Amino acid sequence: MGGVAMEEMPLSALFEEARKIHLAASESRADQDVVRKGCAMLQKCEDMVGKLGLFSSNETKEDISTNNLKYLLVPFYLAELTEKIKQEDRIPIVKASYAKLKEFFSFCEAMELVPEEELEASSRGGSAPPADRRALKITRFKRQKTAEAKLLEIKERKERRGRSKRAAALSTPVESGEEDIPDDDSEEERDAWLATINLAICKAIDLLEMLKREEEMLSAIKEKQLKDGEDVFSRDALDDRTKKAETWHRDAAARVQYSRPAQPITCATFAQDVLEGRASVSQGHEHKHQPLIFGPASIVNGSLSTERERMIAQVFQPSHRMPTMSIEDAGLTEMNIMNDWQEQTKKAIEEATTSWHNDRPLRRKEEDEEDDDEDEEAVMKARAFDDWKDDNPRGAGNKKLTPCG
């Protein structure tokens, strides 16, 4: 259906077509093109309702005809379809849907369609206690179930009446002029549309709360990203980066088969030059860090052979010891020590793990032999002490305490 055909459609046909799209999108996941088409139809319906002046601010629900009641649902249907639109920046979609729901709620409030408890809760905002909010949600849920049950009852009643009319038409011929003229302003159709509007009000209140929380979360995330300076990359940019990285790795894997590995960089100064582009890895470097020499020792060439040369070299030297190696050399030395220690530890753990079961009986036997030797030594020592006590009775050497001493 092109734009010209949409312009030529009457309001009732345009609304019914958009209502079918909304029903299909609510029951299942509809295509984005269909959703956008439904939004365009509902926007056209909204413009036509405004131009025709179907509703007035000083009217109530009793003043609106049954044929026009259904057009109160245009902002609600437009809000729900707008919320289902998918795009990278979600915040404008949420704001547009929230604005349409507020418009629908305000218009229903002016038409005296919103219950009093919902109006009181809306005036209080989010300051109500949790118990009151829970009771309000339970009441809203019951009201929603009542509206759904009423719509189902009206639908079944229409189906039964249609079946009975078809059966009567088959059994009794209908003469010309006696056909049933459909009454668009009947009470049943009015009750159906009022129940649909009540159901939409319940859903709109829940959707308003959900969209408000979603907008707060999205705004907080966006603010945090702007604050941290994080760049939001599109999917195309990420795919391009991934392709470049994969190409670089493939080329490097192909080159490594025919090239010799470069010597490791052991100098921080040369590494910084390579990173900043002042040198390349293939260039040879001779960064020999010798201890700093001050005073006359800096002008002495060769080795210091005589005592005089050594004394001259010590003039104006620092009071503390000078370093004998650079930081890079010290790091490499510590790295080698750590590697050796890790290898020794790993080897010791493997030996202990593999020989533990084999050495266990032998160790137990050695421990038993040691215990037997200790027991024999203790017994011999006890026997020798008993013999000594027999040879030296208690008090035998203390002659001064005896009466005849």
Domain annotation covers residue 57: yes
**Reduced to 3 states, what is the DSSP secondary structure of residue 6?**
helix
CATH code where residue 39 lies: 1.25.40.540
Domain annotation covers residue 148: yes
Domain annotation covers residue 361: no
In this predicted structure, the answer to whether residue 176 has a pLDDT above a threshold of 50 is no
What is the span of the domain harbouring residue 25? 11-119+130-161+186-240
Domain annotation covers residue 90: yes
- Specify the number of domains making up the chain: 1
Task: Give the pLDDT confidence of 47-105 residue by residue, as tens digits.
Answer: 888 888 888 777 788 888 888 888 888 899 888 888 888 888 888 888 888 888 888 88
Quote the pTM value: 0.51
Percent of all residues in the chain with a pLDDT value above 70, rounded to a whole number:
71
DSSP string, 215-268: HHHHHHHHHHHHHHT-----HHHHHHHHHHHHHHHHHHHHHTTTSPPPPPP--H
The mean predicted confidence, pLDDT, of the chain is 76
What's the rounded mean pLDDT across residues 169-196?
Answer: 65
Query: Which of 73, 72, 67, 68 is CA-nearest to residue 26?
Result: 73
Residue 44 vs residue 121, higher pLDDT: 44
Percent of all residues in the chain with a pLDDT value above 90, rounded to a whole number:
1
Domain annotation covers residue 208: yes
Task: Give the pLDDT confidence of 276-312 residue by residue, as tens digits.
Answer: 666 665 665 555 544 445 455 444 455 556 777 777 7
Which H or E run includes 135?
helix 130-171
Domain annotation covers residue 245: no
Domain annotation covers residue 45: yes
Q: Which of 33-47, 200-214, 250-264, 291-305 has the lowest mean pLDDT?
A: 291-305
DSSP string, 68-114: HHGGGGHHHHHHHHHHT---S--HHHHHHHHHHHHHHHHHHHHTT-S
Residue 402 vs residue 180, higher pLDDT: 402
In this predicted structure, the answer to whether residue 401 has a pLDDT above a threshold of 50 is yes
What's the rounded mean pLDDT across residues 162-183?
Answer: 62
pLDDT, residue 63, reads 82
pLDDT, residue 300, reads 47
In this predicted structure, the answer to whether residue 344 has a pLDDT above a threshold of 80 is yes
Domain annotation covers residue 351: no
Residues 134 and 137: their CA atoms lie apart, in Å, by 5
Per-residue pLDDT band at 340 (split at 50, 70, 90): very high
pLDDT, residue 281, reads 58
DSSP state, residue 319: S
